[in-house]
Amino acid sequence: MVLSRRIVVDDVSPRIQYDAGWAVADASALNAVGNYGAVYRGTTHSTTLDGAQLRFAFAGTFVDVVGSIGVVKLADGTYDPTWECTVDGIAIPQPNPTFPFPENHWSLCGQDNIPPGQHTLQIMVHTTQGRAFYLDNIVYRPVDEEGWNVDGAIVEYPNTDADVTFGAGWEQWGAQNITRTSGAQVALDFHGTEVMLIGFIPIELPPNSTTATYTIDDASPVTVNLPGIAPGLTVTQYNAVIFSAANLAPKPHHLVVTYHGDQSHTPLPVGSFHVVNAIGTSTVSSGPSGTPTQEIPSRHVATQNVALIVGIVIGCLVLAAAIIISTLYSIKHRRKRLRADAEAREPQPFADHRRGPQLSRSQRKQIAPMTAGTISEKLAGNSTTSPRRVVQHHEDSGLRYGPALEVVDIPPTYTQD
């Protein structure tokens, strides 16, 4: 998950505000101590001034202060140096501030479950003997995705991250994954200019050296030596940098790491990948193989472009749907109008009065139907004294007899309604 990612702020970052008394320390001596690995990215800050302070502003729900520990116990039972860590003025825990052995990558203080929002971490150092206090880096977990989507930030992708995918042949070993299967692969999709793989080398497994390779995008494979635990060491080696690839083009990349050892060789561990983000638009730079790469928009800009494209596509689809609906409605309306016009031009049949309104009983009594005999009797009458009459019962607007005939009109059986 994205929220499992953390931001690692190195000691040289301008985000850390040092008061007087701090300086960049010589890391060479520190790198040789303990089994927690060399100092992070080869730099660390230190102070021997009593009362020296630093501040760090962040927006997150977790913070951890990491440095080298080297305290001594004094004759009076106190320790030197000591330090105070607060977040927004409230003291936060120190897991083991009196550990008696020198180690790097030590959690000096930290706090989880911090309420979301803006916070300020403050550290004050106390020393009576002038012993050095070391700050290597500060790790925090942002509140949301926007918190780690920062140009130049170092983002930690744990082995459980959604963008870290393992093929066959891997097993869980503590908080990391390892493989001792030849050809086993792990992949990472990231957007940045540098990537670094970190893991720990178990003392329980064979120490024999072997190799792995990694490829970034379409570049040629790069061989990585896996030396295993050096002879004479009897403990697990933590925070080992397996490899680091820098000076990448500021764009999305696809990393694939392949193991070439077996059960009799040191494993390939995957604890986390550290990526230097590339969010801001960058000028021409070198890709994985050193080939110049043209200016590429940042991930943030690319996201905006994707959103713009999606918006345009949706707008076009809506417009197309509106045009189609309008066209169909127009065709339907035109067909309806043509049908009406055609019906108006065609001769209309007379109404079927067999199913229409009928005369009332009184009307039927007053007007008797004319039979053939009745008509002949009328025609046989005196033709000299009265005109011939034809009784005509109108059922339509058809032919009328001439004026020589006396027409007796019988109302039609249909009514005005």
Look at residue 4 in the predicted model and tell me its pLDDT. 86
- The predicted-structure confidence for 175-206, as pLDDT tens digits, reads as follows 999 999 999 999 999 999 999 999 999 999 99
Q: Is residue 355 over pLDDT 80?
A: no
- Percentage of the chain exceeding pLDDT 70: 67
Q: What is the CATH number of the domain that holds 247?
A: 2.60.120.260
Q: Quick one: 316 and 184 in the same domain?
A: no
pLDDT of residue 149: 86
Q: Structure tokens of 184?
A: 């086993």
User: pLDDT tens digits, residue range 371-404?
Assistant: 444 444 443 444 444 444 444 544 444 444 444 4
pLDDT of residue 388: 45
The token pair at 78 is: 């106190």
Cis link prior to 81 (omega < 30° from 0)?
A: yes
Instruction: Give ∠ CA 116-117-120 in degrees, rounded to 5.
Output: 115
The domain boundary, picked from 95, 118, 145, lies at 145
| DSSP annotation string for 162-194 | TTEEE-SSEEEETTEEEE-STT-EEEEEEEEEE
Name the residue among 65, 54, 68 with its Cα closest to residue 133: 68
Looking at the structure, tell me whether residues 76 and 211 fall in a common domain: no
CA distance 256 to 165: 9
Token pair in block for residue 82: 């000591």
Given a cut of 70, is residue 336 above it in pLDDT? no
CA distances from 331 to 237, 317, 335 (A): 78, 21, 6
- Token output for 415: 């009514």
Report pTM.
Answer: 0.68
Neighbouring C-beta atoms of residue 271, cutoff 10 Å = 21
Is the pLDDT assigned to residue 261 strictly greater than 50? yes
Do 395 and 301 sit in the same domain of this protein?
no
Q: Is residue 321 part of a domain?
A: yes
Q: What is the DSSP letter of 100?
A: S
pLDDT digits (tens, 9 = 90+) for 263-306: 999 999 999 999 999 986 443 333 443 333 333 333 333 444 44
The verdict on 117 and 243 lying in the same domain is: no
Bigger pLDDT: 315 vs 5: 5
313 and 287 part of one domain: no
**Same domain for 301 and 282:** no
Residues 260 and 326 in one domain: no
Rounded Cα distance, 212 and 220, in Å: 13
Count of domains in the chain?
4
Host domain of residue 185 = 150-296
- Residue 48, in any domain of the structure: yes
For 15, the token pair is 């985000």
Torsion of CA 230, 232, 236, 237, to 10 degrees: -40
Q: Would you say residue 104 lies in a domain?
A: yes
pLDDT at 321: 67
**DSSP reduced 3-state for 53:** strand
117 inside domain: yes
Mean pLDDT of the region 343-353: 43
> How would residue 415 be classed by pLDDT, with cut points 50, 70 and 90?
low
Domain termination site, one of 88, 111, 145 = 145
Question: Do 274 and 302 reside in the same domain of the chain?
Answer: no
pLDDT at residue 288, as a whole number = 41
269 and 306 inside one domain:
no
Same structural domain, 138 and 156 = no
> Tell me, what amino acid is at 193?
T
Residue type, 411: P
Q: Each residue of 33-84: pLDDT tens digit? A: 999 999 999 999 999 999 999 999 999 999 999 999 999 999 999 999 999 9
Domain assignment present for 353? no
Residue 278 domain-assigned (yes or no): yes
Residue 174 lies in a domain: yes
In whole angstroms, what is the distance from residue 137 CA to residue 117 CA? 21
Domain shared by 1 and 106, yes or no? yes
- Of 264, 296, 328, the position where a domain reaches its end is 296
d(CA 245, CA 222): 10
CA 388/CA 381 separation, integer angstroms: 8
- Given a cut of 70, is residue 157 above it in pLDDT? yes
What are the φ/ψ torsions at residue 16 (nearest 5 degrees)? -90, 125
Write out pLDDT tens, residues 99-135: 999 999 999 999 999 999 999 999 999 999 999 999 9
Instruction: Give the per-residue pLDDT at 328.
Output: 64
Share of the chain above pLDDT 90, in %: 64
Q: Are residues 216 and 262 in the same domain?
A: yes
The mean pLDDT of 28-34, rounded to a whole number, is: 95
Residue 71 has phi, psi (to 5 degrees) of -85, 155
